[in-house]
Structure 1
């Protein structure tokens, strides 16, 4: 929580400072033009990359595979879109980093290694799934995605659910 507070305090100050310095170097109107151009180029790039990511996710779903990396890339593209239309050069650098395919795929793959999904079923059923992205170990499916979890065996003769 403190990190976000510091981010919301420090980022605008850093952006304004950098905008003033660039404005002194190339002029005020040129700085404004550069900001507008990066917003349009960024919006176009995010749109194109978003469409290709959506097509990749649909292709994986058509093959009955979970589009985990594509969902992470879509989230990064959404963040990139917000950052790229926000005036400033620091937000543009981070936004382009999230929007460019090679860096976005790298960031999504790194984030997928640390992603754990927790879902809760019925009153006594808990499921924990760990998504490991595209890493391969022995015994995995051909797509390289592993989902670990627990389940309730409801075919047992007694009425109490058992975790397996």
Structure 2
């Protein structure tokens, strides 16, 4: 229920900002030109929404048919479609945000953010199926370092093997010792 209140407050704030920006633009270039620009971006948004939707669907189907995880293509497609839909919405602020999302580097960045947000909300197994395996970037910790003296270190448990610290980035998880045994 609290989220709904924040969403309503955000929507109200966006409407106020859009009206203010429209009045400023209309004052600068004239009311008719401002209205024509608003209509033009809405038409452009409709055309791009259709195009981006078709492209996203095609990339998703291609990934599935090639046996690749479809999540990366889906995230980028969602970012592009969101950009087109923001152009379709009335207002110059949403138009500016929509145009930004149509720029390839910004769209790729937004696609990565969609991926991160999705991975945070689903299980690790589902994330692996959707986005593929992960790469672990790890460093070996000194097994003799006590975490009480260095809070950044993981304490060594006797008999637990080596202690590794790292973060999951993306790609395959590779255990060099295990790989040698199978080779």
Give the TM-score, by structure 1 length.
0.67
Deviations 1:91-146 (A, max 9, x none): 11112223333321221113313423536xxxxxxx853359588627xxxxx657
- Closer, same or farther: CA 101–53 of 1 in aligned 2, 3 Å: farther
- Closer, same or farther: CA 80–104 of 1 in aligned 2, 3 Å: same
1:60·1:66 contact (CA, 8 Å) conserved in 2?
Answer: yes
1:22·1:31 contact (CA, 8 Å) conserved in 2?
Answer: yes
1:45·1:99 contact (CA, 8 Å) conserved in 2?
Answer: no
Other-structure match for 1:45: 48
Q: Spell out structure 1 runs of 4+ moving beyond 6 A.
A: none
Question: Which structure is higher in helix share?
Answer: 2
Q: How far is 1:37 from its partner?
A: 1.2
Q: Which runs of 5+ in 1 are unaligned?
A: 120-126, 139-143, 147-164
Corresponding residue to 1:130 among 127, 131, 139:
127
1:57·1:67 contact (CA, 8 Å) conserved in 2?
Answer: yes
Larger Rg, first or second structure (1 or 2): 2
Query: What is the RMSD computed on CA atoms of the aligned residues?
Result: 3.0
